[in-house]
Structure 1
């Protein structure tokens, strides 16, 4: 598995994910909690019907850009910068890779996606763009 993505693609997808859900505060679905109050972050969520969907903000961005849920699921437990290495995602600058890592950390602290985006990019929540 390897993927070729550009900084522009990632930043557009990130902006769209945030613009669609600026007030979203990531929460692990109750049925996926290992213990009561579990605050773990997962790239992939399993729905009640057994189907899967992208979970955290980085999972949302990477899946939107064509990374299959199976590959993201196999990378659970790894920080986003390690997932990028592990999945051999080529074409991203260190700046964008680090930005995703920092936004993921802020999300995991309980910040809304809009707040995390604004804090780490120093920009307000963007309008939706065509990818």
Structure 2
């Protein structure tokens, strides 16, 4: 949760928009204007900060946070509570909430578990 809080603190009012437009899905990895891979959605930022490579994340596009964390190429040892909180953050973000609002949803889910 501390990594999620740190990412959100940098851009609390940010509203994620998929690279393919509002009807596109959330992507863990985007390309910048120079064609380089960069973290995309909130969970992509968190997982990258925790040590997941952008290549490994890009291979997991379309999968939820729990699946991605368990991928041998990603190998993140996160608690059940943290995984559920991240899934809630992603859901909130995907509904158009700011990252700060997504953090609030994650914090509530973390406390419920």
**TM-score normalized by the length of structure 1:** 0.75
Q: Do 2:52 and 2:76's aligned partners in 1 also have CA atoms closer than 8 Å?
A: no
Tell me: higher relative CO, structure 1 or 2? Use CA pairs within 8 A at least 6 residues apart: 1
**Which residue is 2:102 aligned to?**
116
Q: Is structure 2 residue 33 aligned with structure 1 residue 48? A: yes
How many residue pairs end up in the alignment? 107
Runs of 5+ in structure 1 lacking a partner? 1-10, 123-131
Gaps of 5+ in 2: 109-113
User: Aligned residue for 2:42?
Assistant: 57
CA pair 52-113 structure 1, distance change in 2 beyond 3 A: same
- Larger Rg, first or second structure (1 or 2): 1
- Report the TM-score when normalising by structure 2: 0.86
- Residue 28 of structure 1 contacts residue 40 of structure 1 at CA under 8 Å; is this kept in 2? yes
